[in-house]
Structures are given as C-alpha cells and as structure tokens.
Amino acid sequence: MDEQTRLMHSHSGVGMAGHPGLPQHMQEGTGGSDGDGRKQDIGDILQQIMTITDQSLDEAQARKHALNCHRMKPALFNVLCEIKEKTVLSIRGAQEEEPPDPQLMRLDNMLLAEGVAGPEKGGGSAAAAAAAAASGGGSGPENSTEHSDYRTKLTQIRQIYHTELEKYEQACNEFTTHVMNLLREQSRTRPISPKEIERMVNIIHRKFSSIQMQLKQSTCEAVMILRSRFLDARRKRRNFNKQATEILNEYFYSHLSNPYPSEEAKEELGKKCAITVAQVSNWFGNKRIRYKKNIGGYPSPCYQSDRRIQ
C-alpha cells in the first residue's frame, strides 16, 4: 500500500514543498546555523549510497536498513523524485514495441511444420506424413522401419526441445519475479515508476527469448540433419533395370543432336521404364552432362559409360 504511493511519486509529485512527510527542518528552507551540518548529513547519506555496492551483503543490508530509517531519508527520496521527474523524458526514447522477429517466425513455422512444436500426437503424425511425402511418391511399405526409426528420433528431439523450452520459461519467470522484488525493494529508497519495471521486464523477456531462439535454431538444425539422414533419396538409391536403361539410352543416342525430350516424351519414357517423369529428367540431365564430359576425348563408342577421363 505504502509502496504503491511511493511508486507513484515519480509521475505525480513535483515540487514537494509543504509535504506532510517532510521533517520540520526541511520544510523551512532557510539556511540557519546548522546549514553546514545538514549538508554534511546529506553528503554522508549520498556517500553511503554510493559505496553500498562495495560492501558485503550483510553489511549492505544493515546499511540499507539504517538508511531507510534515517531522518533525512524522506527528504532525499523527494529530491530523487524531482530529479527523476525532470529526466524521465530521456528514457522514453527506447523502442516500445518492436515488430516480431522474422527469423523467429521462420523457425517457429518450421518447428510447427516438422511437428516438433505444436500438439503432441497430431504433430507426430503430421511429421510422419511430411516424411512420407518427402521420401518421394508412393514408395511403398518397404521403408516403414526406417520411418519408425525416424519418428523415434524426432520424438527425442521433440522431448528435449520441450523440456528445454520449459526450463527457460521457468527461469525467465523466476528471474523476472526476482528482479521485480528487487525493484520493489529498491523503490523504498529511490522512485521507480511502473513503466520502468515494465521496461525492465521487457528487457528480461527479450534476453530470454533470444536464448529460446538459439534453442529453436539448434532444434531446427537437428531436425534437418535427421531428415537428410533418413529421408534423403540418395541413401536408398537403386539402379534402374537394364531394360529401362536401354530404352533411355536408345532415346538419348537417337536424339543426340537434341537430347531434350519434351514433357510428353518424358511421360512416355517414364511409362515405358516404370519410373517417374522426374527420374527421366534426372537421367537425361545426368546423361547429357556426363556424355559431354567424355565426348571431348572420344573414349570408346562401344561402352556407353560416361566415365570421366582424366
């Protein structure tokens, strides 16, 4: 209650002349014979405040208590209020509301898409579906063990992510509470406005969310590595059968002047070879580049290998 009024001082009370809380000798502003004594007194108090951080904790605590009970304390407090009122404009420049960090949003979206963030079960199956989709169209049930392995590892990442996130959240709350208590405690000796507390809390939250961003960043990396380890089609590459290779080669060599099959031709070839259009495109891409690399030395027309000659 009393604290509340103290907190308000900074933006409600200017010019405290005649304040009922002030000691009598402060209210009559004439410098009497004890003027030097008073100056000395205030100087002592300020000196004590300045050196309080150099003292041990117990010592400081005792000193603070002594200061709080000092007869000059209310006067000093009011002076601080006034000084603050004059300087309060200077701290208003700080950015009040920054826009949401685009990188953070990107990370959040990705974690959500991978099923690391978001709801427990739904997230998992969504990730599995994404994995199935990424593994390259209808590849059949043959890789289900690999997928369950993938899911297990993803769940591990997910659990680590959530425990860490929770830990940071808790630490952030604890720290915020601590700082607020500290500020409240300090407001007994110096004026602290609610705005300042709010600013401090914002600073703390920003710091902690930057730590969380690092966590999200590394989680994303872990997921990407996992994906590339389990879902990269290169890992389970199979050669096309001889017949398919023959068909493709036949087309290639009979269109050697322009070995670029149209979309329809690719579909046709894909159908004949029982592979996808994308695979046909890959094959022709590889074939063209590897043929070109060899044609320079003209190795041996009998072998259709594209072996690089060096």
Partner DNA sequence: GTATATGATTGAAG
Partner DNA sequence: CTTCAATCATATAC
Q: Which one, 193 or 279, has the nearer CB to DNA?
A: 279
Phi/psi for 119 (5° steps) reads -65, 150
Q: Is 11 in the site for DNA (CB under 7 A)?
A: no
Q: To 10 degrees, the CA torsion angle through 16, 20, 22, 24?
A: 120
The nearest distance, CB 269 to DNA, in angstroms, is 12
Give the nearest distance from C-beta 124 to DNA in angstroms.
23
Nearest distance from residue 142's CB to DNA, in Å? 12
**281 touches DNA by CB under 7 A:** yes
Shortest approach of DNA to residue 309 CB, angstroms?
9
Q: Which residues have C-beta within 8 Å of that of residue 76, sequence separation ≥ 6?
A: 42, 45
Contact region with DNA (CB under 7 A), list: 9-17, 29-37, 154-162, 275-283: 275-283
Beta-carbon-side half-sphere exposure of residue 82 (alpha carbons within 13 Å): 11
Nearer to DNA, 155 or 281 (CB): 281
Q: CA geometry: angle at 203 spanning 202 and 207, to 5°?
A: 115
Look at residues 150, 136, 9 and name the one whose alpha carbon lies nearest to residue 82.
9
Cβ 266 to DNA shortest distance, Å = 8
**Any contact of residue 297 with DNA (CB under 7 A)?**
no
Q: Using alpha carbons, list the distances in angstroms from residue 77 to 16, 64, 73, 74, 160.
A: 11, 14, 6, 5, 49
Cβ proximity to DNA: between 16 and 273 the closer is 273
Candidate list 19, 68, 292, 297; residue touching DNA; CB under 7 A: 292
> Quick check: 255 binds DNA (CB under 7 A)?
no
Our CB check for DNA shows the closer of 122 and 285 to be 285
Say if residues 75 and 22 touch (Cβ distance below 8 Å).
yes
Enumerate residues 101-140 that contact DNA by CB under 7 A. 136
Given candidates 33, 95, 260, 301, which one binds DNA under the rule CB under 7 A?
260
Applying CB under 7 A, the span of 32-40, 59-67, 148-156, 287-295 interacting with DNA comes to: 287-295
Only segment of 35-43, 45-53, 178-186, 299-307 that touches DNA (CB under 7 A) = 299-307
Contact code string over 222-251 relative to DNA, x by CB under 7 A:
------x---xxxxxxxxx----x------
131 closest CA partner among 150, 109, 106: 150
CA–chain centroid gap for 145, Å, is: 34
Q: Is residue 162 at the binding interface for DNA, with CB under 7 A as the rule?
A: no
The Cα–Cα gap between 24 and 269 comes to 103
286 sits near DNA (criterion: CB under 7 A): yes
From the CB of 256, what's the least distance to DNA, in Å? 13
Q: Which positions touch DNA (CB under 7 A)?
A: 136, 228, 232-240, 245, 260, 263, 275, 278-279, 281-286, 288-290, 292, 303-308
